[in-house]
């Protein structure tokens, strides 16, 4: 079974390509990319003229909530949300119940994902048992089982000695350590960014320094151990500066940024809407500017959603009491296509790179490229398509988005995983029957 | 000008005309307190629910008296002994209360933004009676009324607010209200008790008490919560009291007509010495009396003026 995507603008940063070409897919892999390709006998042809054909987008920071918190999200619902949002692969964080700190949980996630997953799922193992920050999880077995990175995300490993040993122990596996950089003492119970807005709202704030000091520590530990340390959801101008300097010195430090930190500031908290509450919190306008600049210049190589689904009961009450986190899989690509690319703040190939080559490189994943022979994971975008964010129509089980009611233009219209539509019949360009 | 808002949630955002309107209405309410029969039929048939999630004697009582003097039915709902103890969410409780058709819900809550949450979800008027460290608008209104009575005007006066501004909803409401009325506000306290970016609110910040109060027409002392010491924000109550407490000695270099205010309850001997609290400069009890008048005005403008 083969498929030809005819006449689209192919944006493939991994191969330096941005041109109108055809993409031929056979046996679940990219067969060829080139101008005016001939379709072999029996090939299904899909006209994608006017659309943008990219390597499949990868989100390396997702909370799938299964096992244990299925009332928020499941592997089935989370991966369908990912596919609807244009992602062909995701990495899922370890803070499930039980925690993914042992091989049995990793096996469970992968087995479930094989049967029910709409996109590829790469588990991330816990750094410490039970995310307690005390003893190392069985990282060798986790890596053998398929964990592509280690992280206690949601919590910061406060003990620098424990963290140092984790970095060293993981060196042979070639897996990065992903840091949730937040000094819990400095952050205290701060439910938003510390600044004028927190003062006016009377909400306890956490200073940007709560993130910065931990990023500084993790840079020093990366230098000490030689480990690859990846900063999750970087959110401050200070942390960006530290990462930029450290990278210039050759330290193996990388960073990701979320869509919400790129387009929202702490001003958005003024209505006490718990959907504006997450960790790290929405920061000041200067931080937002610094993040965008770092995304453009490559200091930040990757956009990741930190998709953190919560049921309404966890999110509807008092701001200070509400759970941290927002969903992001179904809004990331459209929101950034409109607010960054369409607004002229970032060019399309760079945005695509931050969703493809960046994440693939950081976690050593096979995707992110349309090279011949690569898995045919493909995201097709329509830059003209108008949208309105309607949380009630999400495929995610949760609705906690900060973008409800937003309108814009540009979004994914087809997600192919291994050459096959991830959501047959649901997306505007989906091709029922193709590949089946 | 006529009051047009459904709720009273904050001083921030109120226009000078609206504040003026409130104060004028409160002024006219004061006459009722001097009558032998303190009751007018203005809010007969109206229901006011006092929804207090935090312990409060004076504010709750003040709203209760205000409602009763206006002939409203006032129901007190406190978190202890209610469904709030059984884990019912704020929103559920509020919706249940709304099903009983109140005209005004007066809410006190430890979470900043709780009244705003209720206001968005309830059709009736919502009055913020203090939410976390956010605002306490009726306190600011009664402070303004007291100052106006004593000084004859508001514009151009210097006010110094001393103490734990960081955690004070009283201070935030006062700052917004006073700035709007053309007053100059200085906040003073140890840096650990001054909120971040405070200058951006349009106030002066001082870390020296003598300097901060030297030219003040009004000194507003804030209550020091003992929790602040446990949180590591001050070393000891003893030291705080020595440096930031107001005694007669420190008043020597102040204006002879300075007013001393305090939102209560006073920690005697901590932020205020008994001589100052009970002395000639103190207008603390006038504040309490004006509190009833201000809350009558608020209830009247939110619940009564349209129907009347």
Q: Looking at the DSSP assignment, which residues form a beta bridge with residue A45?
A: A4
What CATH number does residue B41 fall under?
Answer: 3.40.50.1370
Asked if A236 and A287 count as a contact pair (C-beta separation under 8 A), the reply is: yes
Residue A41 contacts by C-beta under 8 Å, 6 or more apart in sequence? none
Question: With 60 as the cut, is the pLDDT of residue B6 above it?
Answer: yes
Domain boundaries, chain A: 2-53+374-421, 56-362
Confidence of residue B84 (pLDDT cuts 50, 70, 90): low
Which has the closest alpha carbon to B162: B186, B146, B195?
A: B186
**pLDDT for position A435:** 37
Which residues of B fall within a CB distance of 8 Å from A318? 90, 109, 111, 113-114, 117
Asked if B125 and B99 count as a contact pair (C-beta separation under 8 A), the reply is: no
What DSSP letter does each residue of A63-91 carry, written as one string? ---TTT-TTT--HHHHHHHHHHTTEEEEE
The SS3 assignment for A339 reads helix
Is the residue at B1 inside a domain? no
Question: With 80 as the cut, is the pLDDT of residue B78 above it?
Answer: no
Is the residue at B5 inside a domain? no
Is the residue at B2 inside a domain? no
**pLDDT for position A433:** 46
Question: With 70 as the cut, is the pLDDT of residue B120 above it?
Answer: yes
Which residues of B fall within a CB distance of 8 Å from A208? none
Q: Which fold has domain A56-362?
A: TIM Barrel (3.20.20)
Is the residue at B10 inside a domain? no
- Residues B135-160 have pLDDT tens digits of 999 999 999 999 999 999 999 999 99
Beta carbons of B133 and A318 less than 8 Å apart:
no
Token duo for residue A275: 């959907």
Question: What distance in Å separates the CA atoms of residue B188 and residue B164, rounded to the nearest whole number?
Answer: 9
Which structural domain range is residue B130 located in?
Answer: 16-134+289-304
Which has the closest alpha carbon to A53: A381, A279, A290, A353?
A: A381
One domain, residues B85 and B142 = no
**B167 to chain A nearest CA, in Å?**
7
- Residues A5-59 have pLDDT tens digits of 999 999 999 999 999 999 999 999 999 999 999 989 999 999 999 999 999 999 9
Task: Write out residues in chain A with pLDDT < 70, as ranges.
Answer: 431-436
**pLDDT for position B80:** 65
**pLDDT for position A436:** 31
Is the residue at B7 inside a domain? no
Token duo for residue B2: 């006529």
> Does A272 contact chain B (CB < 8 Å)?
yes
Is the residue at B58 inside a domain? yes
**pLDDT for position B94:** 81
One domain, residues B29 and B168 = no
**pLDDT for position B82:** 58
Is A306 considered catalytic here? Answer: yes
**pLDDT for position B307:** 46
What is the average pLDDT across B57-72?
A: 95
Q: What is the percentage of chain B residues whose pLDDT exceeds 70?
A: 96
Beta carbons of B201 and A200 less than 8 Å apart:
yes
Mean of pLDDT over chain B: 93
One domain, residues B192 and B262 = yes
One domain, residues B203 and B64 = no
CATH 3.30.1490.20 holds for A2-53+374-421: no
Asked if A181 and A239 count as a contact pair (C-beta separation under 8 A), the reply is: yes
Please tell me whether the interface predicted TM-score (ipTM) of this complex is above 0.95: no
Q: Looking at the DSSP assignment, which residues form a beta bridge with residue A388?
A: A407
**pLDDT for position B85:** 60
The secondary structure of chain B, three-state, reads: CCCCCCCECCCCCCCHHHHHHHHHHHHHHHHHHCCCCCCCCCCCCCEEEEEECCCCCHHHHHHHHHHHHCCCEEEEEECCCCHHHHCCCHHHHHHHHHCCCCCEEEEEECCCCHHHHHHHHCCCEEEEEEECCCECHHHHHHHHHHHHHHHCCCCCCEEEEECCCCCCHHHHHHHHHHHHCCCEEEEECCHHHCCCCHHHHCCEEECCHHHHHCCCCEEEECCCCCHHHHCCCCCCHHHHHHHHCECHHHHCCCCCCCEEECCCCCCECCCECHHHHCCCCECHHHHHHHHHHHHHHHHHHHHHCCCC
Question: With 80 as the cut, is the pLDDT of residue B229 above it?
Answer: no
One domain, residues B269 and B153 = yes
């Amino acid at each position: 079974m083969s498929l030809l995507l005819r006449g689209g603008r192919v944006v493939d940063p991994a191969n330096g390509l941005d041109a109108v070409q055809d993409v031929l897919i056979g046996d679940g892999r990219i067969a060829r990319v080139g101008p005016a390709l001939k379709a072999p006998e029996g090939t299904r042809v899909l006209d994608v003229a006017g659309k943008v054909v990219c390597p499949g987008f990868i989100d390396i920071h997702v909370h799938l909530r299964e096992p244990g918190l299925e009332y928020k999200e499941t592997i089935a619902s989370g991966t369908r949300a990912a596919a609807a949002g244009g992602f062909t692969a995701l990495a899922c964080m370890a803070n499930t119940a039980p925690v993914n700190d042992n091989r049995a949980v990793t096996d469970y996630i992968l087995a479930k994902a094989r049967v029910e997953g709409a996109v590829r799922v790469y588990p991330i193992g816990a750094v410490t048992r039970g995310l307690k920050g005390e003893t190392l999880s069985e990282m060798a077995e986790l890596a053998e089982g398929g964990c592509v990175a280690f992280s206690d995300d949601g919590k910061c490993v406060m003990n620098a000695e424990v963290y140092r040993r984790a970095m060293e122990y993981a060196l042979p596996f070639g897996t990065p350590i992903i840091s949730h950089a937040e000094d819990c003492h400095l952050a205290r119970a701060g439910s938003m960014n510390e600044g004028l807005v927190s003062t006016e709202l009377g909400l306890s704030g956490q200073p940007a320094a709560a993130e910065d000091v931990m990023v500084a520590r993790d840079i020093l530990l990366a230098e000490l151990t030689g480990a690859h340390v990846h900063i999750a959801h970087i959110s401050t101008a200070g942390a960006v500066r530290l990462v930029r300097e450290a990278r210039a010195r050759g330290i193996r430090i990388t960073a990701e940024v979320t869509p919400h930190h790129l387009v929202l500031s702490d001003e958005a908290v003024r209505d006490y809407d718990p959907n504006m509450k997450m960790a790290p919190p929405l920061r000041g306008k200067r931080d937002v500017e610094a993040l965008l600049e770092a995304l453009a210049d490559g200091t930040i190589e990757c956009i990741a959603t930190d998709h953190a689904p919560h049921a309404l009961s966890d999110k509807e009450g008092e701001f200070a009491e509400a759970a941290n986190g927002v969903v992001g899989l179904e809004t990331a690509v459209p929101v950034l296509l409109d607010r960054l690319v369409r607004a002229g703040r970032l060019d399309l190939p760079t945005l695509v790179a931050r969703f493809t080559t960046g994440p693939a490189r950081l976690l050593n994943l096979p995707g992110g490229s349309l090279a011949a022979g690569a898995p045919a994971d493909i995201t097709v975008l329509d830059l003209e398509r108008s949208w309105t964010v309607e949380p009630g129509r999400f495929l995610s089980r949760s609705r906690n988005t900060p973008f409800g009611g937003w309108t814009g233009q540009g979004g994914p219209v087809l997600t192919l995983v291994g050459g096959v539509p991830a959501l047959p019949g649901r997306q505007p360009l989906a091709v029922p029957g193709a590949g089946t | 000008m006529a009051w047009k808002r459904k709720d009273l949630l904050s001083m921030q955002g109120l226009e000078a005309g609206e504040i003026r309107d409130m104060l004028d209405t409160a002024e006219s309410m004061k006459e009722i307190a001097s009558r032998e029969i303190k009751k007018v039929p203005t809010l007969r048939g109206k229901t006011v629910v006092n929804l207090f999630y935090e312990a409060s004697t004076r504010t709750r009582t003040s709203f209760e008296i205000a409602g009763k003097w206006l002939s409203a039915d006032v129901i007190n709902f406190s978190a202890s002994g209610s469904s709030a103890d059984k884990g019912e969410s704020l929103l559920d409780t509020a919706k249940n209360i709304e099903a009983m058709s109140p005209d005004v819900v007066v809410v006190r809550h430890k979470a900043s933004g709780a009244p705003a949450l209720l206001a968005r979800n309830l059709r009736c008027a919502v009055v913020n009676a203090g939410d976390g460290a956010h605002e306490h608008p009726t306190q600011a209104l009664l402070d303004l009324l007291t100052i106006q009575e004593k000084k004859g005007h508001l514009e151009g006066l210097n006010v110094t607010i001393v103490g734990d501004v960081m955690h004070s909803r009283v201070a935030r409401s006062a700052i917004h209200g006073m700035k709007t009325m053309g007053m100059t506000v200085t906040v003073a306290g140890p840096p650990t008790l001054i909120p971040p970016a405070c200058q951006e609110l349009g106030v002066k910040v001082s870390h020296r008490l003598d300097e901060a109060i030297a030219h003040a027409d009004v000194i507003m002392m804030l209550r020091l919560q003992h929790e602040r010491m446990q949180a590591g924000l001050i070393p000891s109550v003893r030291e705080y009291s020595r440096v930031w407490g107001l005694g007669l000695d420190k008043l020597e270099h102040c204006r002879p007509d300075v007013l001393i205010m305090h939102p209560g309850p006073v920690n005697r001997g901590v932020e205020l010495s008994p001589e100052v609290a009970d002395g000639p400069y103190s207008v603390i009890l006038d504040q309490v009396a004006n509190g009833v008048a201000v809350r009558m005005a608020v209830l009247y403008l939110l619940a009564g003026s349209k129907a009347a």
